[in-house]
């Protein structure tokens, strides 16, 4: 093994806020292996995703690009797969950090959820490919699996399966002279029906049978959630699908919340098994280990269950965007950092540690983290977007701006003082004393997306999206009936 270049293990969960890990202060969710990883490495408490939906965030992690640059603004809907080009890789036209690692001699594996196009054939950046063809997890059990050149059904729990396949891969690669990059995007804890509907049946279910759920907010449903999940569908004559009715019922469903907690513990067990195997194979000391999630997830905060698009207009509150981010391994100092981090920073940070040249596109906004003094190489602000909504966050402020060409009263901006109001409850947008800070942040948002966005994919300037958006009627109202998605 080449000791000068570390192996890289990137573990990513699906729909998990930093709030629901023991090492981030949750006393109810049991995650001892991840907690230990945190103690042995650098934990970031202010890391944020670019867009609180699966596909856009995964694309941003791999390319260092914002959704307005890579064109994926929403989850890629499997029902549209027949409309996608053959072997379509949604980020295939962009430089990615896995491809650069492969070009530098790394052996690359993806073992878990893909959700960036057609999964039946591995993109050229990966040598080893174990995934499934869908993005929405209807059940953790009895899933169709794509295992390199084989396709078969696996009856057991998908997290256990991906853990086992990761361990198998490590044993296959242990004697290779070149380093490996192993990307393990687990498809849990997920948090949507029907996958967490009812009581859990996994091995950790009993751990939460008497859990009081004091770490989960008990609030009434936000009226914006009701607007999105009822009137938008029912008034158009459509049925309310089960996976979309869930957010109206889940915030007070104790069985489902405990189910979600148990899935987090199952993932933690998988992390422990993988790390143990690295040690037994003498690979641990030369492996960079990263734990994160694709995006955050609101478990009732502000009356919202789910991701950023669980409400209309979209929610940009912290729970849906604040992600866990832990680095451990060679060249990583131990500690806790409050530095503002965007998940786009993962790309060039990984390449820098691997000794590989950084992503070159002028649209890439990826800072290489130094794991030292948080003031040496950190951001003053980070930016997020969710189709009709964009936001800028600093340590002191959260400003949310919305595309509102038609002057709709329900789609107004928001401003929160995070020092005085850390839970983001008091909207200061109409306060005259805040006018200057609002104008400043509005200019920052405009300048940022002009610099790091591509007009082809900029919904705010008439651009389009790859595959689908959450509310095509809204954008057609803005840009006319001829407006359509890219594919």
So what's the pLDDT on residue 471? Answer: 85
Asked if 191 contacts 20 with a C-beta cutoff of 8 angstroms, the reply is: no
How far lies 255's CA from each of 46, 196, 208, in Å? 30, 8, 9
> Considering only CA atoms, which of 201, 203, 200, 168 is closest in space to residue 184?
168
Residue 405 has pLDDT above 80, yes or no: no
Rounded distance between C-alpha atoms, residue 348 and residue 350, angstroms: 5
Average pLDDT over residues 244-271: 89
Average pLDDT over residues 187-209: 96
So what's the pLDDT on residue 231? Answer: 54
| Residue 215 confidence class, pLDDT cut points 50, 70, 90 | very high
Rounded distance between C-alpha atoms, residue 161 and residue 367, angstroms: 34
| Residue 2 confidence class, pLDDT cut points 50, 70, 90 | very low
Average pLDDT over residues 37-61: 97
Rounded distance between C-alpha atoms, residue 325 and residue 185, angstroms: 14
Average pLDDT over residues 412-424: 97
So what's the pLDDT on residue 235? Answer: 46
What are the backbone dihedrals phi and psi of residue 374, each rounded to the nearest 5 degrees, phi first?
A: -65, -15
> Considering only CA atoms, which of 322, 398, 319, 333 is closest in space to residue 369?
333
Residue 350 has pLDDT above 50, yes or no: yes
So what's the pLDDT on residue 254? Answer: 94
Beta strand 335-342 pairing with 382-386: unpaired
| Residue 463 confidence class, pLDDT cut points 50, 70, 90 | very high
Instruction: Give the strands of the sheet with 180-189, arranged side by side.
Output: 150-154, 143-147, 128-131, 107-111, 180-189, 7-14, 287-293, 325-328, 42-48, 335-342
- 83-97, 399-413, 461-475 — which is least confidently predicted? 399-413
Residue 107 has pLDDT above 80, yes or no: yes
Residue 232 has pLDDT above 70, yes or no: no
Segment (H or E) for 184: strand 180-189
Name the pTM for this structure: 0.96
Residue 236 has pLDDT above 60, yes or no: no
Rounded distance between C-alpha atoms, residue 257 and residue 251, angstroms: 8
- 75-79, 235-239, 418-422, 446-450 — which is least confidently predicted? 235-239
Give pLDDT tens digits for 294-308: 999 999 999 999 998
| Residue 249 confidence class, pLDDT cut points 50, 70, 90 | confident
Residue 377 has pLDDT above 70, yes or no: no
Q: Which CATH architecture has domain 7-371?
A: 3-Layer(aba) Sandwich (3.40)
So what's the pLDDT on residue 238? Answer: 54
| Residue 373 confidence class, pLDDT cut points 50, 70, 90 | low
Q: Where are the beta strands (DSSP E) in 249-322?
A: 287-293, 298-299, 305-306
Q: What percent of the chain has pLDDT over 70?
A: 94
Residue 288 has pLDDT above 60, yes or no: yes
> Considering only CA atoms, which of 1, 330, 350, 346 is closest in space to residue 179?
1
So what's the pLDDT on residue 297? Answer: 96
SS3 1: coil
Residue 234 has pLDDT above 70, yes or no: no
Beta strand 382-386 pairing with 389-393: antiparallel
Rounded distance between C-alpha atoms, residue 187 and residue 258, angstroms: 17
Residue 341 has pLDDT above 90, yes or no: yes
């Amino acid at each position: 093994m080449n000791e000068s270049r570390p192996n890289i293990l990137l573990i990513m969960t699906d729909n998990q806020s930093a709030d629901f890990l023991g090492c981030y202060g949750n006393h109810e969710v049991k995650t001892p292996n991840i907690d230990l990883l945190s103690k042995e490495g650098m934990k970031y408490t202010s890391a944020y995703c670019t867009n609180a939906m699966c596909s856009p965030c995964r694309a941003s992690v791999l390319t260092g690009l914002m959704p307005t640059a890579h064109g994926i603004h929403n989850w890629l809907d499997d029902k549209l797969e027949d409309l996608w080009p053959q072997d379509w890789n949604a980020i295939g036209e962009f430089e990615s950090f896995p491809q650069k690692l492969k070009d530098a001699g790394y052996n690359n594996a993806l073992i878990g959820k893909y959700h960036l196009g057609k999964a039946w054939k591995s993109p050229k950046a990966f040598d080893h490919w174990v995934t499934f063809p869908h993005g929405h997890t209807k059940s953790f059990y009895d899933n169709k699996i794509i295992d390199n050149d084989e396709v078969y059904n696996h009856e057991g729990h998908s997290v256990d399966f991906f853990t086992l396949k990761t361990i198998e891969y490590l044993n296959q690669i242990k004697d290779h002279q070149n380093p490996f990059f192993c990307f393990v995007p687990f498809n849990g804890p997920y948090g949507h029906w029907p996958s967490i509907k009812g009581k859990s049946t996994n091995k950790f279910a009993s751990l939460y049978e008497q859990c009081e759920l004091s770490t989960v907010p008990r609030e009434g449903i936000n009226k914006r959630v009701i607007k999105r999940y009822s009137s938008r569908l029912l008034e158009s004559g459509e049925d309310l699908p089960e996976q979309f009715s869930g957010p109206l019922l889940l915030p007070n469903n104790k069985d489902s919340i405990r189910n979600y907690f148990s899935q987090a513990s199952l993932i933690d067990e998988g992390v422990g098994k993988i790390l143990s195997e690295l040690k037994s194979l003498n690979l641990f000391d030369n492996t960079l280990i990263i734990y994160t999630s694709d995006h955050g997830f609101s478990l009732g905060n502000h009356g919202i269950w789910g991701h950023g698009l669980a409400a209309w207009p979209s929610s940009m509150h912290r729970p849906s965007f604040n992600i866990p981010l832990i680095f451990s391994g060679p060249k990583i100092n131990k500690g806790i950092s409050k530095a503002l981090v965007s998940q786009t920073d993962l790309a060039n940070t990984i390449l820098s540690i691997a000794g590989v040249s950084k992503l070159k596109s002028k649209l890439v906004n990826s800072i290489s983290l130094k794991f030292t003094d948080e003031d040496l190489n950190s951001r003053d602000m980070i930016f997020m977007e969710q189709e009709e909504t964009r936001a800028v966050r600093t340590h002191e402020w959260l400003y949310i701006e919305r595309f509102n060409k038609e002057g709709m009263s329900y789609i107004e901006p928001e401003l929160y003082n995070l020092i005085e109001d850390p839970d983001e409850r008091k909207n200061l947008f109409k306060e005259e004393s805040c006018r200057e800070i609002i104008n400043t942040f509005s200019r920052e948002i405009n300048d940022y997306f002009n610099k790091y966005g591509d007009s082809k994919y900029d919904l705010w300037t008439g651009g389009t999206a790859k595959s689908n958006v959450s509310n095509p009627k809204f954008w057609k109202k803005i840009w006319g009936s001829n407006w359509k998605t890219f594919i």
